Structures are given as C-alpha cells and as structure tokens.
C-alpha cells in the first residue's frame, strides 16, 4: 500500500539510493530492477504509475523538510501518527519512542512528553510501543497543515490500489 523504493531504477539504469526500514507488519515484494525497467518500457500504464509514485515520494520528502524546519514537535508527532495509520489501516500502531524520536529528530524524552500530553488530552492511548489513535479528528486538528497537503496531493495523483479498478488493475 505504501509505495516503492528504487523506482528511478525502473526508468533508467541508475542505482537506487535507498535504505528501507519496515516499521509495520505486512508483506513486501521485490522485483529485479532490470526486469521492472523492461516492463516499464513496454507498458505506458506502468510507467505512468511509477512516475506518479516518484512525484508523491518527492512531494512528501520536500514537505517533510519544510515541516521539520517550521513546525513544533507536537504538530509533527500528530502528522506522523496520522500518516502511519493511513498507510497501515491499523487501529493499533507498533511505534517505539526510539523510532518516533528518530523520525521526528528529537530526543526520546521529548517523544515521551508529547505522547503523555496527547494521551492526557484523550487523543491517543500509548503503552510500551503500542499506540492507538482514540480521537482521530482531534489529532487531525493538532497536526500541522503538512499532513493534509501531502495526503491531498497523493490522493490526487496516485491511482487506486492495485486491488481496485484503477490503472494498476490492467497490469
């Protein structure tokens, strides 16, 4: 559901500059870059999907840079939780304070303080690496506008899931 890494290698013989860390349970698939490149060159639909995913990833990265520079840790924390839930569709997120601190660029103690505050306000339940969003609308109000911007952009340019009737269904 999330996307893909190394997509540039599907369009050109450039080595991918990526490191992937799987944070949520699920299934990951792999395909040889040469094989994917051949498929992309023979399928305009696949090539279009790849370009759209590259655009969505680039937009998300650019927005994250601005977000980290301009928004406080609580807003970024809320954005990150909402994004994780969007991508996993899970009620309960397995997120350690250490991982959240790394993603937010803050110390673990800061994550603990923000999580405690959000829990006290009835927005989340948090205990030992397990996070449950209790009040999603409230969390959305506390998140910065970056969450909505990235989500709206992705929804606009990305096709529906391959399981649906979007352009990926014909691949």
pTM for this prediction: 0.82
Decide if pLDDT at 169 tops 90.
no
Half-sphere exposure of 34 (CA within 13 A, CB side): 0
List the one residue out of 54, 53, 78, 46 whose CA is nearest residue 146.
78
Number of neighbours of residue 58 by Cβ within 10 angstroms: 10
- pLDDT band for position 168 (cuts 50, 70, 90): very low
The pLDDT value given to residue 151: 93
- pLDDT band for position 170 (cuts 50, 70, 90): very low
DSSP one-letter string for 78-123: HHHHHHHHHHH--SEEE--HHHHHHHHTS-HHHHHHHHHHHHHTTS
List the one residue out of 51, 42, 35, 39 whose CA is nearest residue 3.
51
> Each residue of 70-123: pLDDT tens digit?
999 999 999 999 998 988 888 889 888 998 999 899 999 999 999 999 999 999
Domains in the chain and their CATH numbers? Answer: 1-20+33-70 (no CATH), 72-153 (1.10.10.10)
Joined tokens for residue 162 = 């391959």
Dihedral in degrees, nearest 10, Cα atoms 112, 18, 61, 88: -60
What is the b/e burial string over 11-21, where b = at least 16 CB atoms within 10 angstroms of the residue's CB? Answer: eeeeeeeeeee
The pLDDT value given to residue 89: 83
């Amino acid at each position: 559901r999330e996307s893909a890494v190394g997509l540039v290698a599907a369009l050109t013989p450039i080595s991918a500059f990526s490191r992937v860390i799987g944070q949520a349970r699920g299934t990951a698939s792999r395909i040889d870059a040469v094989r994917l490149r051949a498929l992309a060159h023979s399928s305009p639909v696949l090539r279009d999907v790849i370009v759209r995913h590259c655009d969505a990833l680039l937009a998300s990265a650019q927005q994250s840079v601005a977000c980290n520079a301009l928004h406080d840790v609580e807003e970024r924390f809320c954005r990150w939780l909402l994004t994780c839930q969007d991508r996993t569709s899970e009620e309960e997120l397995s997120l350690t304070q250490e991982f959240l601190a790394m993603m937010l660029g803050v110390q673990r103690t800061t994550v603990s303080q923000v999580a405690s505050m959000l829990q006290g306000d009835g927005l989340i339940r948090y205990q030992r690496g397990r996070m449950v969003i209790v009040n999603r609308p409230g969390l959305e109000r506390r998140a910065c506008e970056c969450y909505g911007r990235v989500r709206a952009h992705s929804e606009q340019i990305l096709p529906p899931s391959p399981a649906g009737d979007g352009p990926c269904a014909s691949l």
